[in-house]
A and B are shown apart, each in its own frame.
Chain A
Amino acid sequence: MASSTMSSRVSAPTAPGANRGWSRILGGRTAMLFLLLMLALILAALAELIFGAVNLSLGEIYRALMGEGDALSSAIVTEIRAPRLFLGMAVGLGLAMSGCSLQGVLRNPLADPGLIGVTGGAAVGAVATIVLGDAIITDLPMAVRPFLLPVAAFTGAAFVTTVVFGVSRRAGTTSIATLILAGVAINAIAGAFIGAMVYISDDRQLRDLTFWTMGSLGASNWTLVLISAGIVLAAVAGIARMGRALDLFQLGERAAYHAGLDVEATKRNVAILSAIAVGAATAAAGPIGFIGLVAPHMARLIVGPEHRLVLPASALIGTTLLLFSDLLVRTAVPPAEPPIGLATSLIGGPFFLWLLLARMRTRGGGVNGGGFNA
């Protein structure tokens, strides 16, 4: 990592410490773009409420939302679609914002929450609950049981992130290179643990854990949705204020330090907040791939490299992508419903491939260009 050189190319035009106001940044074109992104999100949110396997008229949906609908439409709107909508927004927001901040702080276009082991840790917690949880779950009161898996997943994510950062922190500084390598190692260990769980699982547990790893917004109940959405929002609120810090990071750590940024605090905060946001999202909906990776890239293509713009744009794009993916799986082959991981990867995979190819063409090979200098 050429993190210590001032010569790192930066495509962001912002000079360190430049303090341009929102009014200037949000010029006509950018304001228009954000308006469009918001419109897309509103459309996606409405579509999530309006469309589904059951055909409901707008009137029925309105009455259900007002609490005047019949049992069927009320149950569909308030117990099935609305919690999905909220959970989908929270998950999309959490994944996109943490992906964006991680890519920024690691200065690595391939960074996503999976890279530093958050998703792997959550998977270990969830899979252990699916396979080993039968033994302890009978001792728990009924009301607590649905939360065993989310809590285990969240704990796993938090624990693994702590280990990864603990390993890469020496003498008060966190080495980005070590961080990524430690993430790789931890992911390998998590993979081995999951493999062991797969080995001792029975047929049914195996299917359960396979489906869990493909993600779903389906099992949403309101309590779970509100808790995880609350956690995600709190973490994301912290990330949202780090736009300037992330811009400075693009100059390299030393330059950022000399520009007055507390580099260590930034790294630590991004890691903690991302782990919390992704841990909560994964705990409630399983590991949903590609949103965290792709939403920030799309945002950069649309609004340019400044993180003050990229962060909110990623948030809008991530939520929109996730809601449309959910709409796709809910309406593709009714009455069945494929896992949402299929849809996000189906949309995200080709896009990412296109992004790589486009970069290679415009920059004559290599994918280290763009706003990143890894």
Chain B
Amino acid sequence: MKLFMPTIAGLLFAGGAAFSNGVAADEAAPQRIVSAGGDLTEIVYALGAQDRLVGVDSTSVYPAEATGKAQIGYVRRISPEGILSLEPDLVLGAYDMGPPAALDQLRAAGVAVALAPDQETVDGVPAKIRFVGQAIGLPKQADALAAEVRSAMVAEIEKAQAWTGERPKVLFVLTMGESGLTVGGTGSSAESIIEMAGGINAAKSIEGYKPMTREAVLAAQPDVVLMMQRGADQHGGTDKVLERPEFALTPAGKNKRAIIMDGMLLLGFGPRTPQAIAELGEALRKNGQ
């Protein structure tokens, strides 16, 4: 991540200068936008600018209509010429969009490239929304949406924190293989959302998204297993997952406590984050009875 920070800072300065011109006169706002980031695509839709969206990356799966746009592939391996073929005047990218050489090639072709800030906090999500609004020439609408999302997030977090029951230990399982699991550890986006929703991350001993052995899962004794919809489906549904040996002997397995959520909703940190906190918090509180 450190690798990209100076680049991003430079881009934000360059981008900011370019956008201030675009925002002043509305007809100068970008008309053909490529979005390389599921959260950014959601924000563009939430701001009502989807008609100007001409291409999206492989993480842009919400709303469902977004998948009908031209597909530019994986955000870290974009093809500059592929994007240029969509004739964009703005490329909105997640902070880790790359490779760097491809971004340079896009800029050389005269396309504005704006990389979003990467923050998974109460202030980070509104900042991302305002960033997109600035970039696409809808700063007022973005300010309004950002304020709305922020207050909704704050309200949901307060609701979660006000709960007096015992905080459940939540294990976020990203993928499951025969030899072990990949879980969301300290500093992961999964941990952020779990804590916002009033849970405790059961995988604190691990940093980021990393494999966790079956024994470590048993030792962590999670109260709840949190999974993405696709992951649960792949392994035959929640019951089958909870019957796996690493879960069967934990409180989560004994009490059949698994929460399945849509991945992009849960970890997108976009306009739907208040909804994600509400859904997860509700499920945690219900499970805790």
Chain A interfacial positions (CB closer than 8 Å to B): 52-55, 71-72, 75-76, 79-81, 133-134, 137-138, 142, 145-146, 199-200, 202-204, 207-208, 211, 216, 218-221, 330, 333-339
Closest Cβ of chain B: how far from A225's Cβ, in Å?
Answer: 11
- Contact B211 A335, beta carbon cutoff 8 Å: no
Residues of A contacting B105 in the complex (Cβ-Cβ under 8 angstroms) = 75, 79-80
- Residue in B3, B73, B101 whose beta carbon sits within 8 Å of that of A134 in the complex: B3
A and B contact pairs by CB, cutoff 8 A, 9 listed: A52-B81, A55-B85, A75-B108, A203-B182, A211-B74, A216-B77, A218-B99, A218-B101, A336-B79
The 10 A-B residue pairs whose C-beta atoms are closest, nearest first, are A335-B82, A336-B73, A337-B79, A75-B109, A53-B85, A75-B108, A202-B208, A71-B110, A203-B209, A54-B85
What 11 new A-B contacts, CB under 8 Å, besides A54-B81, A204-B96? A53-B81, A53-B82, A72-B110, A134-B2, A138-B2, A211-B76, A333-B71, A334-B82, A335-B71, A335-B83, A336-B58
- Closest B residue to A199 by beta carbon equals B211
Residues of A contacting B37 in the complex (Cβ-Cβ under 8 angstroms) = none
Closest Cβ of chain A: how far from B215's Cβ, in Å?
Answer: 16
Q: A53-B85, A137-B3 are in contact. Are A335 and B76 (CB under 8 A)?
A: no
Closest Cβ of chain A: how far from B242's Cβ, in Å?
Answer: 24
Residues of A contacting B70 in the complex (Cβ-Cβ under 8 angstroms) = 335
Verify if B22 is at the interface (C-beta below 8 Å from A). no
Verify if B100 is at the interface (C-beta below 8 Å from A). yes
- Contact B72 A76, beta carbon cutoff 8 Å: no
- Closest B residue to A205 by beta carbon equals B208
Residues of B contacting A71 in the complex (Cβ-Cβ under 8 angstroms) = 108-110
Please, how many angstroms separate the alpha-carbon atoms of A146 and B104 in the complex? 12
Residues of A contacting B55 in the complex (Cβ-Cβ under 8 angstroms) = 335
- Contact A330 B79, beta carbon cutoff 8 Å: yes
Q: A211-B74, A330-B79, A337-B73 are in contact. Are A72 and B102 (CB under 8 A)?
A: no
Residues of B contacting A335 in the complex (Cβ-Cβ under 8 angstroms) = 55, 70-73, 79, 82-83, 85-86
Closest Cβ of chain A: how far from B17's Cβ, in Å?
Answer: 18
Interface residues of B in 82-104 (CB under 8 A from A): 82-86, 96, 99-102, 104
Please, how many angstroms separate the alpha-carbon atoms of A146 and B80 in the complex? 17
Closest Cβ of chain B: how far from A57's Cβ, in Å?
Answer: 14
Residues of B contacting A72 in the complex (Cβ-Cβ under 8 angstroms) = 84, 109-110
Verify if B24 is at the interface (C-beta below 8 Å from A). no
Residues of B contacting A145 in the complex (Cβ-Cβ under 8 angstroms) = 3
Verify if B159 is at the interface (C-beta below 8 Å from A). no
- Closest B residue to A220 by beta carbon equals B101
- Residue in A146, A334, A337 whose beta carbon sits within 8 Å of that of B101 in the complex: A146
- Closest B residue to A338 by beta carbon equals B73
- Contact A218 B85, beta carbon cutoff 8 Å: no
- Closest A residue to B58 by beta carbon equals A336
- Closest B residue to A133 by beta carbon equals B3
- Contact B82 A337, beta carbon cutoff 8 Å: yes
Please, how many angstroms separate the alpha-carbon atoms of A53 and B109 in the complex? 14
Verify if B6 is at the interface (C-beta below 8 Å from A). yes
Please, how many angstroms separate the alpha-carbon atoms of A202 and B104 in the complex? 26
Give the interface centre of A72, A335, A336 by most chain B CB atoms within 10 Å: A335
Closest Cβ of chain B: how far from A46's Cβ, in Å?
Answer: 17
- Contact A219 B3, beta carbon cutoff 8 Å: no
Residues of A contacting B76 in the complex (Cβ-Cβ under 8 angstroms) = 204, 207-208, 211
- Residue in A55, A79, A138, A334 whose beta carbon sits within 8 Å of that of B3 in the complex: A138
Residues of B contacting A133 in the complex (Cβ-Cβ under 8 angstroms) = 3
Please, how many angstroms separate the alpha-carbon atoms of A197 and B69 in the complex? 36
Please, how many angstroms separate the alpha-carbon atoms of A138 and B4 in the complex? 9
Residues of B contacting A219 in the complex (Cβ-Cβ under 8 angstroms) = 99-102
Q: A146-B101, A334-B85 are in contact. Are A53 and B208 (CB under 8 A)?
A: no
Please, how many angstroms separate the alpha-carbon atoms of A347 and B101 in the complex? 28
- Contact B209 A202, beta carbon cutoff 8 Å: yes
Please, how many angstroms separate the alpha-carbon atoms of A271 and B159 in the complex? 68
Closest Cβ of chain B: how far from A344's Cβ, in Å?
Answer: 17
Please, how many angstroms separate the alpha-carbon atoms of A76 and B87 in the complex? 12
Please, how many angstroms separate the alpha-carbon atoms of A194 and B58 in the complex? 27
Please, how many angstroms separate the alpha-carbon atoms of A79 and B106 in the complex? 9
- Contact B3 A203, beta carbon cutoff 8 Å: no
Residues of B contacting A204 in the complex (Cβ-Cβ under 8 angstroms) = 76, 96
